[in-house]
Amino acid sequence: MTTRQDCQRQDGEDPLAPLRDLFELPAGLIYLDGNSLGVLPKATASRVQQVINAEWGRDQIRSWNSAGWIDLPARIGNKIARLVGAGDGELVVADSTSANLFKVLSAALDLVRADAPGRRVIVSERHNFPTDLYIAESVARERNLELRLVDVDEIFAQLDDDVAVLMLTHVNYRNGRMLDMAKINRAVHAAGALAVWDLAHSAGAVPVDLKGGGSPEESADFAVGCGYKYLNGGPGAPAFVWAHPRHTARMDVLQLRQPLSGWLGHAVPFEFAPNYRPAPGIARFICGTPPILSLAALECGVDTVLAAEALGGIPAMRAKSLAQTELFIALVDARCRDQGLELRTPRDTRVRGSQVSYSRVDGAFAIMQALIARNVIGDFRAPDVLRFGVTPLYTRFTDVWDAVENLRQVLLDGEWREARFNQRALVT
């Protein structure tokens, strides 16, 4: 069995190890929650302070031009595009994941139903992240359409002549299962529908190829994602939105708009025209004025991921992530046997994201609170899931070994039964 000394050796041989120095990580903390909130990059505080003191404080409104504030949604968007297989000018940072999902779902429906008005079904996985399902429910209710929720293994069978849009999350937030995007896109397009993807648990963590290697059949149609998980943009960081260029071009031909046609998505915002005229390409999906302080922080976070390019990039990160999740699973199998933990994450590495999840009928919430009290930070998802996220930029192999050792002690000693670990705050 793997020992802690083995893990120390792996850390010493890890080509990505220098990237850990890019982050603020308190001594003694084992942070396995980057799939919920990424760690603070060391560059962020000084960069945000520069924006506050010099760009806002000294130069004030002039900084929209002199400091390039107005260009940040596109500039950061081009950086994120490199991580998800998109091209320059195809992805922008704007608004929230929920708002962006509303935009792209509406646009996708308009495109499909322009040719096939009888298609009136949105399909999604029933265990998709709640905000995705809530937004889809709102769109379906607003348009008098059907939202059809199915188990993930039923997706292909559901792609009939009634389906307009399939909306999925690439990596499931509960169990970390990763879907075969190219295969699903191919099936969706063969059925005459469009595919909308949520990359919240993918961007900056696993390989993503939105354009399907150049194959129209295997490319995605629309995608959204958040900036505060693996992109390390800070709590509530702005989200991003992508549309395949063929769709923005067709929206021009059909004179279709995304529904939140705010002023900054206008073709010439400072013309201040009374009537809306969409900007070309992806820029039409911007709605309101960009949050500059948040964007400055997000750019620092994205830059930490791009720093891995010189050390092997996403492929190297993926290899390390799989090695660490494999280690976590093997250690739990060996050291926490007969403790009621049921692995929810796929053992098949081909369909595993960058997290490991376990369910436990008795005390899952309290177990996680006891771990947090030991400075092992994961999180709990109702009703019974303990999640441990791996972020290759800063997670060490010794962190994995120590986390499982703490989990073992919490379970064997029964300390999770203490009353203080069974008191729920609003955020779990």
Identical fold, 4-31+313-422 and 52-303: no
Strands (E), 133-250: 146-150, 163-169, 194-198, 222-225, 240-243
Question: Cβ of 62: how many Cβ atoms within 10 Å?
Answer: 11
| Res 1: pLDDT | 79
10 Å CB burial of residue 201 (0-12, 13-18, 19+) is buried
Q: What are phi and psi of 46, to 5 degrees?
A: -70, -35
| Res 266: pLDDT | 96
In single-letter form, the type of residue at position 195 comes to: A
Q: Report whether 283 contacts 265 (CB < 8 A).
A: yes
Which are the contacts of 132, defined by CB distance < 8 A and separation ≥ 6?
101, 124, 167, 169, 198
Find how far residue 171's CA is from the centre of its chain: 8
CA distance 143 to 71: 34
> CATH says 52-303 is which class?
alpha beta
pTM of the model: 0.97
H helix or E strand, kind and range, residue 398: helix 397-413
Residue 1 bridge partners (DSSP): none
| Res 428: pLDDT | 83
Q: Catalytic site residues? A: 129, 198, 228-229, 387
Q: Report whether 294 contacts 300 (CB < 8 A).
A: no
| Res 175: pLDDT | 97
What DSSP letter does each residue of 113-162 carry, written as one string?
HHH-TT--EEEEETTS-HHHHHHHHHHHHHHT-EEEEE-GGGTGGG--TT
Where along the chain do its domains lie?
A: 4-31+313-422, 52-303
| Average pLDDT score over the chain | 97
| Res 307: pLDDT | 98
| Res 104: pLDDT | 98
Residue whose C-alpha is closest to residue 41's, from 297, 292, 226, 229 = 297
Q: Report whether 317 contacts 392 (CB < 8 A).
A: yes
Residue whose C-alpha is closest to residue 321's, from 234, 224, 400, 229 = 400
CATH number of 4-31+313-422: 3.90.1150.10
Q: What are phi and psi of 295, to 5 degrees?
A: -65, -40
| Res 51: pLDDT | 98
Q: Tell me: the pLDDT tens digits for 311-353?
A: 999 999 999 999 999 999 999 999 999 999 999 999 999 999 9
Q: What are phi and psi of 194, to 5 degrees?
A: -120, 155
Q: Quickly tell me which residue has 């960081």 as its tokens.
A: 237
| Res 177: pLDDT | 98
Q: What is the mean pLDDT of each run of 10 residues along the chain (428 residues)?
A: 95 98 97 98 98 98 98 98 98 98 98 97 97 98 98 96 98 98 98 98 98 95 98 98 98 94 95 95 96 98 98 97 98 96 98 98 96 98 97 98 98 95 91
